[in-house]
Structure 1
């Protein structure tokens, strides 16, 4: 039987969870601080509309997906797991590493599934990219850089780094298999005291380097992750159509008479199975609820991402 899952928070991203869980046959209830909003979704999706407190009291609810403002995630997750519910918590799972650690420990103490919504880990193009890296197709990885740029959304509690970078950090940490040993952050606030632009520079064991650029005040969209290895380079570009989302560039570099020489091939586009990352993420959550397996994006990963965000955070005064 499918688990009975409730969605807490029916805003922009929460509404996507609602519709996807309905399509998967696992949506039991919706809840939101705005009762009218919850009732609208309940009517549309033919499920229950419950007050937030009711979610924790209803024994028939197996799990809760939380898409709340991040300052409410940790305490709400703790309350849920102590009430016997498995949880999928949207990113960021908390605003401090300490709060995230308390929530993850509460889930462990209560034998509950704790999963973080790093949805791009379930993108077919990223899964294929990671498989190429793991198989050694790119050689030894030396450098990774990601760009996530666009216009909006603007939040009152978290800046461009905390809102946009978790997706890319999750992918970068999955490829490196290690936490950075050094993190340096730079940011710029154009509207108020929160950064609208953010750069992260990271150094990993083995002198592997990483760079991340995130912006919520940019005139064009860019969603690109590039992995540079000794035998080849790969680019996951989520703005491109499916047949061009993953490109591999093979190259050779050598010294000839004291001078560097190189050859570079045209991109080879890798066939990628089409599939919605959110659907695949929620299918994985359902699987973990049913089997009690540890999620691919578990609480420990959520903490590692928060540690990097915290190390790279730059505070600003209001722009003049």
Structure 2
């Protein structure tokens, strides 16, 4: 784009919106122009913090404004597709908080609409911008961990309980995006189990297993019914293993020089299992806030015409895994094949 400053509208000032506003108000080459929400009290809180930012309850009117270049959506997940499609049709660049959509068909339409409009469509998979996860990805890509055996994540807490979306769609998108990013491919199949212990129609706890074609196995535990907050990922390779603890005050990443491998015995055609155990290394990382990096990346991609790391296709892939997991959940935990989504679908009428 020719303008030196990307003029941004934030739609949704509830749970996550204030965090986005804080970072959007600080990005280089970007300016938060207006915040929109249907709740006047939420807008009043934002106005006190950002007195120079316009507040409105009319989000639809934002799309007709020529002084808005980009729209950031932090609204309930079921509204993402409709709002994003309207914004893209109005010629705006769009950032959508996770998940991109609630169905594969909606996500495919969003990707196609962004392509047809020639606009950036980006999804808020914030952990793909986390310095700790980037370091783990580098270790995997460079072969420092050896062959990837399996990885598992725990994302649990007591609350925030939701009534309209289950723990799979509310919490697990982060972990699905992390695993797809680290493994570098979609799983062949997934299975999921869960329960709605609070008596509603949505599951409060889910366990998801991802089976990848390269032999790696992934497992996700997501719940808002746990006694303490845990945000942990373990990656097990043949040479080394890594534990990432997002709630640790320091030493968030620990690299264990441990591994198990098979060693052939000469002359017998058999093998022995060897266990290697060495030092634990804590790398020094630049712990810049991931959300700051993500918001800056959105603005930079608009200014420079680049495809975001977490573009619409990235969001569509995560939705395809979530949809397969939901199908498994509804069927009592059966294995469900993950069909590769159509990233070239037409934008529709």
1:117-148 residue CA offsets vs partner (Å, 9 max, x unmatched): 01111111111111111111101112111111
Contact 2:237 2:259 in 1 (8 A): no
* Pairing partner for 1:310 from 323, 327, 339: 323
Within the alignment, does 1:236 sit opposite 2:219 as a pair? no
**Which shifted more, 57-66 or 254-263?**
254-263
Question: How far apart are 1:108 and its partner, in Å?
Answer: 0.9
Contact 1:183 1:202 in 2 (8 A): yes
Distance, in Å, in 2 between the alignment partners of 1:209 and 1:115 is 27
Question: How far apart are 1:316 and its partner, in Å?
Answer: 9.6
Distance 1:188 1:266, change over 3 A: farther
- Whose RCO is larger (CA < 8 A, sep 6+)? 2
Distance, in Å, in 2 between the alignment partners of 1:266 and 1:277 is 29
* Pairing partner for 2:36 from 31, 34, 43: 31
* Pairing partner for 1:99 from 101, 106, 113: 106
Contact 1:188 1:316 in 2 (8 A): no
- TM-score, length-normalised on structure 1? 0.94
The answer to which structure has the higher helix fraction is 1
Distance, in Å, in 1 between the alignment partners of 2:254 and 2:36 is 41
What is residue 10 of structure 1 aligned with on the other side?
13
Distance, in Å, in 1 between the alignment partners of 2:259 and 2:48 is 59
Distance 1:82 1:252, change over 3 A: closer
What is residue 126 of structure 2 aligned with on the other side?
119
What is residue 64 of structure 1 aligned with on the other side?
71
> Any stretches of 5+ residues in structure 2 without a counterpart?
266-270, 333-349
RMSD: 1.8
Distance 1:293 1:256, change over 3 A: closer
**Which shifted more, 28-37 or 122-131?**
28-37
Question: How far apart are 1:240 and its partner, in Å?
Answer: 1.1
> Any stretches of 5+ residues in structure 1 without a counterpart?
none
Distance, in Å, in 2 between the alignment partners of 1:255 and 1:179 is 31
Question: How far apart are 1:260 and its partner, in Å?
Answer: 3.5
What is residue 21 of structure 1 aligned with on the other side?
24
